[in-house]
Amino acid sequence: MRLVLLGAPGSGKGTQGEKLVAHFGIPKISTGDALRAAVKAQTPLGLTAKAAMDAGDLVANEVVYGIVEERLAQPDAQKGCILDGFPRNLAQAQVLDTMLTRIGKGDIDKALHLHVTDEEIVKRLLDRAQKEGRADDTEAVIRHRIEVYNAETRPLLDYYGKQGKLVKVEGVGGLEEIYQRILGVLK
C-alpha cells in the first residue's frame, strides 16, 4: 500500500497516520518531522528550511525531494509507505510519481483526504500553539499556512481525483471514530 495523506495542517494526518502505520505495518514518511529534526540539529538543510517554516511557507521543493527519495529507498519502505505532508504541490506530486517509477516501486494506490473546515483548523492550531508553548505560531502565521494549503496543496485533490485514487473522510469527531471511517474507505 502506498498512501498519500492529504489535509490541512492540523487535520489529524500525523495522528491517524500513526494508527495506519500499526495497521498496515509500513512506515510513515513525514517531511515536516524530518525538517523539524533537521532544524533542531541545525544541519545545513535545517538552516535552509527554518525561515520558510517559521513563516508558514513551503520550503523549496528541492529541499524535500532529497529527504523523500532517501527515505523511500530504505528497506522498511519497500513494501509500501504512508506519506504525510508530501506531496504538497503539483510539482511534488509529479516528481513523486517519477521517483516511484524510477525506483520500480509502482504507483501511489490511494490519496486520503482528511477534511476539516478552515475555522476548525484555526481553532485546533491555536489550541496546539498554546499547549505546546509555540508563541511564534501566531494566528496570522496559522491563517497563512491555511492559505498556502488552499492555494498549493488543495489542487492535489483534483490530481488524485482524476486518477480515481482519491478517498475522503470527515476529520471531525473522536479519534477512534475517524480512524474507523478511514479503515472503511481504504478497504
By annotation, the residues acting in catalysis are 13, 88, 128, 134, 145
Q: Smaller CB distance to ligand AMP: residue 61 or 180?
A: 61
Q: How far apart are CA 153 and CA 9, in angstroms?
A: 11
Query: Mask of contacts with ligand AMP, 111-130, x by CB under 6 A?
Result: --------------------
Q: Kindly tell me which of 19 and 144 has the beta carbon lying closer to ligand AMP.
A: 144
Single out the residue of 74, 67, 70 nearest to residue 45, CA to CA. 67
Minimum Å distance from CB 163 to ligand AMP? 19
Shortest Cβ 148–ligand AMP spacing (Å): 7
Angle formed at CA 30 by CA 53 and CA 177, multiple of 5 degrees: 110
Identified binder of ligand AMP from the candidate list 6, 59, 72, 121, rule CB under 6 A: 59
Interface with ligand AMP (CB under 6 A), residue total: 16
| Contact indicator for 85, 67 with CB cutoff of 8 Å | no
Residue 39 engages ligand AMP in binding (rule: CB under 6 A): no
Establish if 35 lies at the interface with ligand AMP (CB under 6 A). yes
Give the separation between CA 83 and CA 11, rounded to whole angstroms: 15
Closer of 34 and 178 to ligand AMP (Cβ):
34
Q: Is 153 in the site for ligand AMP (CB under 6 A)?
A: no
C-alpha cell at 157: 485533490
Q: What are phi and psi of 36, to 5 degrees?
A: -65, -40
Q: Quick check: helix, strand or coil at residue 137? A: coil
Q: Does 1 bind ligand AMP (CB under 6 A)?
A: no
Contact 111, 160 (CB under 8 A): yes
Q: Does 95 engage in binding with ligand AMP (CB under 6 A)?
A: no
